[in-house]
Amino acid sequence: MIPVRGYEGKTVAVLGFGRSGRTAARALQSGGARVVAWDDGPAGRAAVEEEGLELRDPARQGALEEVDLLVVSPGIPHLYPAPHPAIAAAWEHGVPVDNDIGLFFASLGSSGWARMDQPPRVVAVTGSNGKSTTAALIHHVLTEAGKSSQLAGNIGRGVLDIDPPEDGGIVVLELSSYQTELARGMTPDIGVFTNLTPDHLDRHGGLGGYFAAKRRLFSEGGPDRCVIGVDEPEGQYLANQLVEGTGDDRLIRVSANRKITRGWGVFARKGWLSEYRKGRQVGTIDLREIKGLPGAHNHQNACAAYAVARTLGLAPRTIAAAFETFPGLPHRSQLVAERDGIAWINDSKATNVDSAVKALGAFSRIRWICGGLRKEGDLSPLVEAAGSVVKAYVIGREAEAFATELKGIEAEVCTTMARAVERAAEEAEAGDTVLLAPAAASFDQYDNFEKRGQDFAVLVDALT
């Protein structure tokens, strides 16, 4: 655990008592703070009492008297669509508001680092799509290379729950926009931006606010080196803001669709990853047969992970060997079964149109299971990307409306996952890929995308 420093003998209120809130409370206590906590749900409040903490609703009149800090869980809105009443009360009373990410960066360093040969470093990964795979791949490469690495943040363990990093240790963080938006301080050694597509727009007041939340990691964090995906205008803008010129090695540009030969660049074309530096090719990897990284979207993830590994001193051949053993992540282009010549792929994490478009581009002869709780925007990009789709099997409470928008695609309204898997199994032929890539959230039928993916995997397993 990383003890939170700076609040010894002070009172800190924790709002939201899920994974991050509970860990933050323990880390604050470990650092000597007095912690009070609150959760809007009865289960969360019961967890506060189980932890032996005082239950205190910070939105209640007078509850913030003598409170020095309010620590907020990521899912609680603090600006759009409207501030949570407790946060509004904190601002009204001049109480600082932070989250576990801000506490982590403020508390990570210790006096013992001065005696280390190589102080620990932090790699922080953000973006819309691919950040989980990129973070996990970086961690995998480092571990395979014999480096001491911990994976935390929006994936793996909570940031304050990790072990204090040892000499030469590396902490790899996946950070969502919810986490980067509020953190009062972020100081990673290496910052990674994968891409930007519309998501969480109500939470951030539109696309500009969403990008601004991601951009804070770089504009206010000041990483020593930045790895930036430049396949969208936002990434190109961000790269432009970070360097003095093309020869500035503080920036590595990455792309999944075009060559980058000026400055330092890593790109993938036709399944080949290439690294260029000062106009010379200095590394290359054939990604086409790496099962854990299928499709152009995963090739972009590979480029970003490769760039980080190179920054940390690993040789191209070492990175290539580690890529070969990467198993992929659950619910992200995950091969759950292959039988009778039919591949069954779980990409339940494809919760928006853009991520589903990328999944559709990774396979041929697709029988596509899609649908769920619709997000903002139309489905026309899916139609344009569905050239390899043989048939769609639509799930969700609004399956009929979803299917109607898939113009030109043969679509069957199945509503339930069980029915969709059953119909796909009846109709699939050798050479087909049955792909779960919903292009929608899961909350109309499942608690989260993990539960949806697990249901798909269980149903596929039951076919045997």
Domain boundaries, the chain: 11-98, 107-324, 334-462
Question: With a cut of 50, which residues of the chain have pLDDT below it?
Answer: none
* Contact of 154 with 132, CB cutoff 8 Å: yes
Tell me whether residue 84 is one of the annotated catalytic residues. no
pLDDT of amino acid 337: 92
Strand partners, 331: none
State how far the Cα of 217 lies from the Cα of 223, in Å rounded to an integer.
8
Residue list for the binding site: 127-133
The Cα–Cα gap between 404 and 402 comes to: 5
- Reduced to 3 states (helix: H, G, I; strand: E, B; else coil), residue 84 is coil
Which of left, alpha, beta for 156 (phi over 0: left; psi -120 to 50: alpha)? Answer: left
CA distance 99 to 342: 45
Nearest 5°: the CA angle 9, 183, 159 is 75
Q: Distances from the Cα of 375 to the Cαs of 202, 402, 438, 441, 455, in angstroms?
A: 10, 11, 11, 7, 22
Residue 229, amino acid: G
* pLDDT tens figures, 100-124: 999 999 999 877 888 899 999 999 9
Whether 78 is catalytic is no
Nearest to 237 by CA among 191, 196, 181: 196
The pLDDT of residue 244: 80
Burial of 313 (0-12, 13-18, 19+ CB in 10 A): exposed
* Residue where the block lists tokens 């790269």: 239
Nearest 5°: CA angle at 217, between 214 and 222? 150
154 among known catalytic residues: yes
Active-site residue identified among 139, 140, 200, 358 = 200
Q: What is the pLDDT of residue 407?
A: 94
- Predicted model pTM: 0.86
Q: Report the CATH superfamily, name and number, of domain 11-98.
A: NAD(P)-binding Rossmann-like Domain (3.40.50.720)
Say which residue the tokens 């019961």 belong to.
46
CATH 2.60.40.60: does it fit domain 107-324? no
Which residues are annotated as part of the binding site for ATP?
127-133
Catalytic residue among 78, 84, 99, 131: 131
Catalytic choice (154, 195, 298, 346): 154
Residue 76: per-residue pLDDT: 95
Which of 290, 289, 285 lies closest to 275 in space, CA to CA?
Answer: 285
Tokens of 385: 């990307």
What pLDDT sits at residue 428?
Answer: 97
Contact 228, 183 (CB under 8 A): no
Task: Report the pLDDT value the prediction gives residue 362, as an integer from 0 to 100.
Answer: 87
Return the CATH architecture of domain 334-462.
Answer: Alpha-Beta Complex (3.90)
15 contacts 84 by C-beta, under 8 angstroms:
yes
